[in-house]
């Protein structure tokens, strides 16, 4: 099943389990050997399962006993053998989450250097998004957070040396990308648990929106942050993300910020060979679906609020038929097609806070997903109306030359100690995570559902009627949350 990270703009190239056309993309190059997700009937791994696998010529690659999940590697015949075990609920090919090609607009090198060497908040005049949420900095007078509260960021890592982030980056960050990276195609990946350095930029950008404190300011500039890196510069596997969620909960983070997501299909994925006409069933992602739901439940049981991005596809995610048609139109083709009900994951799992994105005038961003009962809250993530207008009219050089992105893109920290502009629900999600952290810092630790209700009641400029399908309970406002 195709998955995407982050939803930054709409420039992602999704790589799914069937990205090669007639086969299933797996995390190894051995012929006929694939990776599978296995979930058991109970939230534990049965005794002797490793030995049973060995007898089938398969092995465990990763295990998460807290939710009764393992990733295994073996030949395709292992599926029927494992299915026959009485304690197995489901086994399906493991889901691949693809790191998108993202649009970013770099700053002039001299400006980056000047900002990095500044002893004051150099970029405040450019932070229109943070100004909107903090009411031009008024919320800072009432609370900026503390290291008593920790936001865990599941993403591409964090620049551990960035001058704006280092003061709030707490010990305990972890890397979940194994040696060799995805499919052994990232030889620079060592598998070292402490290698959480950001190689992409997305995770650092997200972190800056939460807790930057230097040349720029995040929404909660004194709040603790911790990185759980699940992406290098390529794709990731479900087990890495699930593992990171469980680990973050075990580490007692208070809020989990997940600017990532994709689509699940409760049905089937098919491929018709154009030469032979043979229809091949590529399976579904039911085991990963169960595993993610269990992971969400586990995280919540540990007292952690999960905040997720709604996605950048510009669709109504409550219309299952529309979503399946969207998947077939956008990501099908070449003989591949989807049958069944589709939904946005993890944004449509129960007990998560789902965030849509707005532009400068509190309008829904042109790329943001929406839907009644789907969106819980809206936050500034930037827009691309002018971007598209100039691009479509062949005047994009003019857009860049006049720096019109200052007006609609969001500035934040980069992976190399500098800063860059981007947009997306990925940029909206961390701002909600930051305000949730501010509420915990003010009112104390509370159950996730209670914190979510407080977020919807106090931390918004409320909306009513049809606007709720776009903005949920309202537009994020840190000043309202703290006053």
| In the chain, where the domains are located | 33-93, 103-482
Record the tokens describing residue 392, joined without a space. Answer: 């479509």
Identify the residue whose tokens are 């709040």.
223
Q: For residue 459, what pLDDT band results from cuts at 50, 70 and 90? A: very high
Please count the other Cβ atoms lying within 10 Å of the Cβ belonging to residue 132.
Answer: 22
Burial (0-12, 13-18, 19+ Cβ within 10 Å), 180: middle
Record the tokens describing residue 368, joined without a space. Answer: 């943001």
In the DSSP assignment, the letter for residue 196 is -
The answer to whether 212 and 195 are in contact (CB under 8 A) is no
CA distance 327 to 298: 30
The per-residue pLDDT for range 273-330, each reduced to its tens digit, is 878 888 877 666 788 889 999 999 999 999 999 999 999 999 999 998 888 888 888 7
101 has a pLDDT exceeding 90: no
23 has a pLDDT exceeding 80: no
The SS3 of residue 413 is: strand
Nearest in space to 214 (alpha carbons), one of 282, 112, 345, 101: 112
Q: For residue 240, what pLDDT band results from cuts at 50, 70 and 90? A: very high
Q: Looking at per-residue confidence, does 251 or 343 come out higher?
A: 251
What share of residues in the chain are helix, strand, coil (percent, to 5)?
30, 25, 45
Please count the other Cβ atoms lying within 10 Å of the Cβ belonging to residue 138.
Answer: 13
The per-residue pLDDT for range 25-60, each reduced to its tens digit, is 333 334 468 899 999 999 999 999 999 999 999 999
CA distance 335 to 346: 27
| Sheet containing 410-413: order of strands | 105-106, 419-422, 410-413
Q: pTM of this prediction?
A: 0.91
Q: For residue 226, what pLDDT band results from cuts at 50, 70 and 90? A: very high
Domain range 33-93, CATH class: alpha beta
Nearest in space to 256 (alpha carbons), one of 265, 264, 246: 246
Which element (helix H / strand E) includes 89?
A: strand 88-93
The answer to whether 246 and 257 are in contact (CB under 8 A) is no
CA distance 342 to 216: 39
Which element (helix H / strand E) includes 96?
A: strand 96-98
- Report the CATH number of the 103-482 domain: 3.40.50.200
The per-residue pLDDT for range 130-180, each reduced to its tens digit, is 999 999 999 999 999 999 999 999 999 999 999 999 999 999 999 999 999
CA distance 178 to 189: 7
* Crossing angle of the two packed helices 425-443 and 448-458, in degrees rounded to 10: 100
The residues assigned a catalytic role are 155, 202, 426
Q: How far is CA 309 from CA 131, 278, 374, in A?
A: 21, 38, 11
What are the DSSP calls for 314-371, one per residue? --BTT-HHHHHHHHHHHH-BTTEEEEEEEEEETTTSTT-EEEEEE-TTSPBPTT--B-
Q: For residue 68, what pLDDT band results from cuts at 50, 70 and 90? A: very high
Over the chain, what is the mean pLDDT?
89
Lowest mean pLDDT among 99-108, 129-138, 208-217, 413-422: 99-108
pLDDT at 19: 26
CB neighbour list of residue 54: distance below 8 Å, 6 or more residues apart? none
Record the tokens describing residue 113, joined without a space. Answer: 């250097």
pLDDT at 62: 95
11 has a pLDDT exceeding 60: no
CA distance 225 to 243: 18
CB neighbour list of residue 275: distance below 8 Å, 6 or more residues apart? none
pLDDT at 461: 98
Please count the other Cβ atoms lying within 10 Å of the Cβ belonging to residue 67.
Answer: 25
Nearest in space to 36 (alpha carbons), one of 222, 239, 312: 239
Percent of the chain with pLDDT over 70: 92
Record the tokens describing residue 47, joined without a space. Answer: 């005794």
């Amino acid at each position: 099943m195709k998955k995407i990270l982050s939803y930054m703009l709409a420039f992602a190239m999704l790589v799914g389990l069937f990205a090669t056309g007639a086969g299933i993309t797996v995390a190894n190059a051995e012929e006929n050997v694939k990776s599978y997700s296995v979930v058991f009937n109970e939230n534990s791994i049965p005794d002797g399962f490793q030995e049973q696998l060995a007898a089938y010529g398969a092995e465990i690659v990763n295990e998460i006993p807290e939710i009764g999940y393992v990733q295994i590697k073996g030949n395709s015949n292992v599926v029927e053998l494992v299915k026959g075990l009485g304690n197995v609920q489901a086994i399906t090919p493991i889901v691949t989450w693809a790191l998108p090609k993202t649009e970013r607009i770099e700053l002039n090198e001299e400006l980056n250097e000047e900002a990095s060497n500044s002893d004051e908040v150099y970029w405040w005049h450019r932070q229109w998004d943070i100004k909107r949420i903090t009411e031009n900095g008024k919320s800072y007078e009432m609370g900026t957070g503390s290291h008593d509260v920790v936001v865990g960021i599941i993403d591409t890592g964090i620049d551990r040396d960035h001058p704006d982030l280092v003061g709030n980056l707490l010990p305990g960050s972890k890397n979940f990308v194994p040696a060799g990276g995805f499919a052994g195609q990232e030889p620079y990946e060592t598998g070292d648990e402490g290698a959480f350095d950001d190689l992409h930029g997305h995770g650092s950008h997200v972190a800056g929106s939460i807790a930057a404190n230097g040349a720029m300011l995040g929404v909660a500039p004194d709040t603790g942050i911790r990185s759980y890196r699940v992406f290098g510069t390529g794709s990731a596997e479900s087990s890495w993300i699930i593992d990171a969620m469980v680990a973050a909960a075990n580490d007692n983070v208070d809020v989990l910020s997940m600017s990532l997501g994709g689509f699940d299909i409760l049905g089937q994925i098919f491929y018709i060979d154009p030469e032979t006409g043979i229809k091949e069933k590529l399976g579904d992602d039911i085991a990963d679906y169960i595993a993610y739901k269990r992971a969400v439940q586990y995280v919540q049981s540990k007292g952690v609020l999960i905040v997720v991005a709604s996605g950048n596809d510009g669709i109504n995610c409550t219309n299952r038929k529309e979503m399946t048609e969207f998947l077939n139109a956008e990501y099908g083709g070449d003989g591949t097609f989807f049958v069944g009900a589709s939904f946005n994951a993890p944004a449509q799992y129960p007990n998560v806070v789902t965030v849509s994105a707005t532009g400068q005038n509190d309008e829904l961003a042109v790329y943001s997903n929406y839907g009644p009962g789907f969106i819980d809250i809206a936050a500034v993530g930037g827009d691309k109306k002018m971007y598209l207008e100039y691009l479509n009219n062949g005047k994009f050089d003019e857009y860049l030359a006049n720096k019109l992105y200052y007006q609609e893109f969001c500035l934040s920290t980069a992976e190399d100690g500098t800063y860059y502009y981007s947009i997306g629900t990925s940029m909206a999600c961390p701002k909600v995570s930051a305000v949730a952290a501010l509420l915990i810092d003010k009112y104390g630790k509370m159950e996730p559902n209670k914190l979510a209700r407080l977020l919807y009641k106090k931390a918004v400029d409320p909306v009513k009627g049809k606007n709720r399908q776009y903005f949920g309970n309202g537009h994020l406002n840190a000043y309202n949350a703290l006053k």
